[in-house]
Structure 1
Amino acid sequence: MDRKSLLPIGQFSQASGLSITALRHYDASGVLVPAFVDPVSGYRYFRRDQVRTAQSVRALRRLDIPVEEVRRLLDGGQEALATALRAHLAAAERRLETQRSLVHGLLSRMTEGADMTHHVTARQGPAERILVVGATVDNSGLDPFLRRAYQEMYAVAGRGPLTFAGPAFVRFHGVCDDENETLVEACLPFWEDGAQPAGLPEGMNVRDLPESTLACTRIEGAAAAFPRILGAYDAVADWISEHGFAFAGPVRMIYRRWTGTPDDPGNRLEIAWPIDEPADD
């Protein structure tokens, strides 16, 4: 091979902005393989047209894209790379918006206190018979799951036809955010003395919930969208702790009014946490 047409690794490092150590790592991982390796010295040489590829690798890594993903993207061609970059940018913008909202929420709590933003009260929740569909999801999978679950349940309710006994709600058995997944149950209350559902699809069942005391706060509009809604959960949890109650079951997100768009100003949600008197030690 004519080495005059190739760049030795030192020059290639300068041209690409990648260190020699990084170039050796990308060679070993198959991301950026030299055009020629001297069999005696082991010295690496690169084609001049590989400089642009190396610059792309550098940019992709600065975007915190893993090495294996970088290799896949570069092998997929320019159109696939452009699509992936747009998706990456959209995800980064969502993360930034989430972080911005969380920071503003923390600052608000520090300066005003949670009780200034969310008014928490206690009320009695009736015993309810509900249709239930559950799944273990994180925040990214929450909306698709809920849309699918309620579509299935309303179809079953229409065949009954069931008489709705209250607003639909969701039960969260743990933390559901971008970093954690938990069991989430979509619930649809119906009148237990009326028609009963039959021929339930797999994964759907009927359950009876007992009467309970609920610590509640209501939110609306943009405050009902993630991540701002987390402040409502925190406010209710703080109220329960400060008033000496015990947490008595999964927290509920109740749809008082829902347009289908998370930040619609017409949305009205209620965060309701079952509580009980603390057990004696």
Structure 2
Amino acid sequence: MDEELLPIGRFARLCRLSVKRLRHYDEIGLLRPARVDAASGYRYYRREQARDAFVIGLLRSLDVPLPVVARVLEGEAADALRQARDRMEAELARRRRALAALDRVLAEGLPAPRVELCDEPARRVRTVRDLATPESVAAVTSACVARALDGPPPGLMAGLFPLDMRDEFPVTVAVEDPAGTEVLDGGRFAAAVHLGPYEQIPLTVHAVLAWCGEHGFTPVGPVREVYLDDPASVPAEALATRIMVEVAER
């Protein structure tokens, strides 16, 4: 056997990786052994492969996903790591928002806003639409609002979101405009006012949906967030947003 080759056990100790991990990296094509014994299936590695093994170990210790690690080993380090960092930063922001919402629940208890039924008229509107994910919904909504404001002074402004916001979903911002070319349907809605930051609106949405279930109403439409304040002049803790969910007759 070539003396430059190290059996998998020695290579694992050299690179501070487990044999199990090296086998897995071979199976997914991330770090192939230099030689595999045809009879025993035993894996052997060259010493030069230690650098790639250490890169894998380092990046995995930083929670970099394996597909990104593969791109780094293929020479795409700058773009791959920048994208991984952006995703991690977005996830960190999401967790911070979740932590703030949890702190609010701990301080105030589970949300129990006053929910009431109301009949909403149809309105002529202009709309701005885009696609979002759970991680990007705040940024996408803000961008849609900015685009919607680039026009005549708005009347009522509402964000429309699907009841199920998993994977990718549409976001719509509708601005009341007598000259608008679209119609925002009216109907019967369960409604409550959310007080506080926009990122904590899901607390009130869940309370409205729970009220619907308790009173035998079936939600049939998207969630409407009617923005009652200007966030540029009202502190986040004092922002008022009317949450509306269209319901079917019992």
TM-score range (shorter-chain normalised) is 0.7 to 0.9
Which amino acid is 2:177 matched to?
Answer: F
CA–CA distance in structure 1, aligned partners of residues 101 and 48 of structure 2: 45
Other-structure match for 2:121: 126
TM-score, structure 1 normalization: 0.69
Aligned partner of residue 208 in structure 2, secondary structure: helix
Change (3 A) 1:147 1:254: same
Other-structure match for 1:217: 192
Change (3 A) 1:41 1:78: same
Other-structure match for 1:114: 111
Other-structure match for 1:7: 6
Residue pair 1:174, 1:183 contacting (<8 A) in 2 also:
no
Other-structure match for 2:69: 70
By how many angstroms is 1:269 displaced?
Answer: 1.7
For residue 146 of structure 1, the aligned residue among 135, 141, 150 is 141
For residue 175 of structure 2, the aligned residue among 188, 197, 219 is 188
Aligned partner of residue 33 in structure 1, secondary structure: coil
By how many angstroms is 1:236 displaced?
Answer: 1.1
Other-structure match for 1:207: 183
For residue 236 of structure 1, the aligned residue among 200, 208, 213 is 208
Other-structure match for 1:22: 21
Residue pair 1:253, 1:272 contacting (<8 A) in 2 also:
yes
Change (3 A) 1:61 1:44: same
Pairs within 5 Å for 1:79-90: 79-80=78-79, 83-84=82-83, 86-90=85-89
By how many angstroms is 1:81 displaced?
Answer: 6.0
* Identity among equivalent pairs (%): 28
Other-structure match for 2:159: 170
What do the CA deviations read for 1:91-120 (whole angstroms, capped 9, x no partner)?
4423533553565577679xx4432xx333
CA–CA distance in structure 2, aligned partners of residues 11 and 219 of structure 1: 61
Change (3 A) 1:106 1:52: farther
- Identify unmatched segments of 5+ residues in structure 1: 198-204
Aligned-residue CA RMSD (Å):
3.6
Aligned partner of residue 30 in structure 2, secondary structure: coil
Which amino acid is 1:209 matched to?
Answer: D
Aligned partner of residue 215 in structure 1, secondary structure: strand
Change (3 A) 1:264 1:73: farther
Residue pair 2:158, 2:225 contacting (<8 A) in 1 also:
yes
Which amino acid is 1:73 matched to?
Answer: V
What do the CA deviations read for 1:19-53 (whole angstroms, capped 9, x no partner)?
33432332343322334556787654334353343
CA–CA distance in structure 1, aligned partners of residues 84 and 10 of structure 2: 29
CA–CA distance in structure 2, aligned partners of residues 131 and 181 of structure 1: 23
Aligned partner of residue 100 in structure 1, secondary structure: helix
Aligned partner of residue 236 in structure 2, secondary structure: coil
Which amino acid is 1:45 matched to?
Answer: Y
Aligned partner of residue 6 in structure 2, secondary structure: strand
Change (3 A) 1:186 1:29: same
CA–CA distance in structure 2, aligned partners of residues 55 and 104 of structure 1: 40
Which amino acid is 2:111 matched to?
Answer: A
By how many angstroms is 1:235 displaced?
Answer: 0.9
By how many angstroms is 1:54 displaced?
Answer: 1.5
